[in-house]
Structure 1
Amino acid sequence: MPATSKPQQQTIELGEQGNLVLPESIRHHLNLQPGEKLILTLEPDGSLRLTSLRIQIQNLQGIYKDIAPGISLADELIQERRGESQS
């Protein structure tokens, strides 16, 4: 959901086991798949924020793309670790 769009509100019910079911429209809008990992954050004001782990990782990767353009920092780390293990 773009940051400039109006917040969406829907009422959902907490199940007996503490389960929440996200409405299909929300799952579809966020392209959430069954089994996908989500991060639940309790905000200081008592509200809850639910974020897709996959989307959060994509956003973090975007933050660091300018540090080493065209270079995979993960590949460099793997290569470095392999070199250390051979020493």
Structure 2
Amino acid sequence: MSELPAYAEVHLGPQGRVVIPASLRRSLGLEAGDILIARLEAGRLVLEKQETIKHRLKARFSHIPKDISLANDLLAERREEAKKEFSE
């Protein structure tokens, strides 16, 4: 990726459409047809490519051994909590 421009002014068009300036699209490697995920973060609108989010999540959980299932661990925790609630 080339160096990102410091800023770019965009205008909100009809039906809430925003055009991402070409310089930003090039810097971010965005192409027509890319899927972007929009989210609010501290009062800001953040747009990210799906692939970027997937890579970040994979990196965040890469330290967990492949034979451990976080979903199964969570389910086991919830079942234990439910047992405690019903036995009280």
TM-score (normalizing by structure 1)? 0.60
Across the two proteins, how many residue pairs are aligned to each other?
67
Give CA-to-partner distance per residue, 1:39-87, whole Å, 9 cap, x none: 212234x32112221101111111222213xx5x9xxxxxxxxxxxxxx
More helix per residue = 2
* Overall identity of the aligned pairs, in %: 33
Matches within 5 A, 1:50-65: 50-65=47-62
Matched, 1:67 2:47: no
Match of 1:32 among 30, 33, 51: 30
Runs of 4+ in 1 over 4 A off after TM superposition: none
Residue in 1 aligned with 2:15?
A: 17
Q: Which one has the largest radius of gyration?
A: 2
Pairwise CA RMSD of aligned residues?
A: 2.8
Instruction: Give the Cα–Cα distance (whole angstroms) in 2 for the partners of residues 6 and 19 of structure 1.
Output: 22
TM-score by length of 2: 0.59
Name structure 2 gaps, 5 residues minimum: 69-88
